[in-house]
Structure 1
Amino acid sequence: MDDEQRGWHAYLERAYQFLRSAGRPLAAGELASAGINRTTMSQLVASGLVERPVRGVYHIPSPEDDQRVMWAAISLGYDAVFCFAAAASYHRLTEEGAGIPDVAIPEDGRIPSRSSFESRVRFHAWPRAAMADDVETVDIQGVPVRITSPARTVVDMYRHSTLNRERGIKPVVMDTAFVDCVSRFISEGDQNARSMELRRVAEVHGCWEAISGITSVITATRDRLMTF
């Protein structure tokens, strides 16, 4: 038992050990099912041994933690899909870290207040259909986390970049970030399969012609450089 835990009431020790044994962040509802209420968890947070990265989600910090703990916590607390730069970072379609994570939530929902989070999160309101098509579920910190597929990420990066002139879409991605993303996508793995997948998704969103033109320039430039 740590020095901080000496003198704890039995209910605090039980709650702490329950969270510790889970080995992952837990939502308040999961804790409530085990007979552990929010008041108890607030006391543990006040002790400094437990963190509340997202309102209603609790986690015991460890030296191995990285930003993915936050991703797991967000997924437990909200109907969310990680997208744009966050998805590009996960799929290794950029060398840059995710930084402030981009998170899509239903447009008919309510954007959480900043006070609900320990760190910053960039929310985007999406139609519910957009949160289902070409979205994968991955395991992060033992929590199912939804994230746009690699091809969908490339398409989203284009559609929401400064290169796209489609009306009604707010640019939130720099053109250089999209070019970096699509360049990495078309340079790795099975080129034919990846190209077909990118075309399928881009055609659904009506932007294959534009993306195809950009990828052709990137490929031609790369081939020219390789001849020197």
Structure 2
Amino acid sequence: MREALAETPAVLVISPRRAGKTTLLRTIANGRGRKRAFSGKPQGDTYPHPLAFNVRAFVSSTELMDSSVKTHRDRVIGVLRKQGMARLAELMRTGATATSVARLEREGTIVRLARGLYQLPDAPLETHHTLAEAAKRVPRGVVCLVSALAFHDLTDRMPPKVWMAIAPKDWGPRVTQPPIRFVRFPSAALKDGVESHRIEGVTVRITSPVRTIVDLFRYRRVLGQAVAVEGLREGLRQRKVAPGEIARCAAAMKVWPALQPYLEALTIDG
């Protein structure tokens, strides 16, 4: 028996009764012409041909892969339908993989807006699309200054970059698309006078009209006095701000001495 086993070629197959484990089997012909499997000692069961088992395993794995890809596609599309746009980390939290997301991008099923940011190709683009992109790239940031002024229709200026405020100790992300100009606000200033707006399904935090005008006077040396005065004039003309609200907010932000002469002049003229 040992001599017969030594002369018989060895075949490495997957045991159907021990899925996931491999067993070294030697096949020999017994007296009745059937093939019997041995692993050191004779076994009582007769196994199917290794090739047939491998074919079935290959077909099953292929079908499983196809269904997995379809599942990932459905999940990714569902998230983008609901949120408008999503980061790669958000898509992966649904069970999708980076590979499946890249495959969907190559197929044209989804569109990459920037590194790690995706959207459906038929998603409607709103006027303030870049603000939604910026909010996705910097979730803890607040749209402010000239960008907030343009959002509230208080200026005709279209800033080339999105002005976004972050906390003093927050890490400044390296974002190239969309271009973002970061400023540091005190932590309390990132909560007071901040509104939440929905743009293309994305929640975007933006400073209110009153807070935006006061911030423009705070940053008048960077942006220029003309921008701040324009925002104040338009806010009063469109009745989006009240003089009393401006005065209180300016006093709290310690810019009342700089803002007071312009507010009094515009109020008297109005």
TM range (shorter): 0.7 to 0.9
Instruction: With a CA cutoff of 8 Å and minimum separation of 6, indicate the structure with the bigger relative contact order.
Output: 1
Paired with 2:184 and 2:168, the residues of 1 have a C-alpha distance of 4
Instruction: Give the structure with higher Rg (CA).
Output: 2
Does residue 1:178 correspond to 2:228, yes or no?
yes
- Off by >6 Å, runs of 4+ in structure 1: none
Aligned mate of 1:39, from 85, 99, 119: 99
Question: What is the identity, as a one-letter code, of the residue corresponding to 2:264?
Answer: S
Residue correspondence of structure 1 range 143-158 to structure 2 within 5 A = 143-158=202-217
Question: Counterpart in 2 of 1:91?
Answer: 152
- Structure 1, unaligned stretches of length 5 or more? 1-8, 163-170, 224-228
CA separation of 1:39 and 1:73: change in aligned 2, threshold 3 A: farther
Amino acid at match of 2:98: R
Q: Normalized against structure 1, the TM-score is what? A: 0.76
Query: 1:55 Cα shift?
Result: 3.8
Q: Distance in 2 between the 1:113 and 1:67 partners?
A: 24
CA separation of 1:26 and 1:129: change in aligned 2, threshold 3 A: same
Cα separation, partners in 2 of 1:215 and 1:61, compared to 1, 3 Å: farther
The alignment status of 1:123 with 2:171, answered yes or no, reads no
Change (3 A) 1:39 1:104: farther
Give unpaired runs (5+ residues) of structure 2. Answer: 1-68
Match of 1:28 among 60, 82, 88: 88
Q: Read off the aligned partner of 1:133 and give its amino acid letter.
A: D
Instruction: Report what 2:128 is aligned to.
Output: 68
Deviates more, 1:120-129 or 1:79-88: 120-129
CA contact 2:247–2:256 (8 Å) conserved in 1: yes
Helix, strand or coil for the counterpart of 2:188?
A: helix
| Aligned pair partner of 1:208 in 256, 259, 266 | 256
Which deviations, in whole Å up to 9, do the C-alpha atoms of 1:170-227 show, x marking residues without a partner? x2x122111111110121227xx7111111110001122321201233445x56xxxx
Deviation at 1:49, TM superposition (A): 4.8
SS of structure 1 residue aligned to 2:212: helix
SS of the equivalent of 1:180 reads helix
Q: Does the 8 A contact of 2:83 with 2:202 survive in 1?
A: no
**Paired AA for residue 196 in structure 2:** T
Choose between structure 1 and 2: higher strand proportion: 2
Using structure 2 for the length normalisation, give the TM-score: 0.65
Identity %, equivalent residues = 25
**Which residue of the other structure, out of 95, 118, 143, is the alignment partner of 1:82?**
143
Number of aligned residue pairs: 201
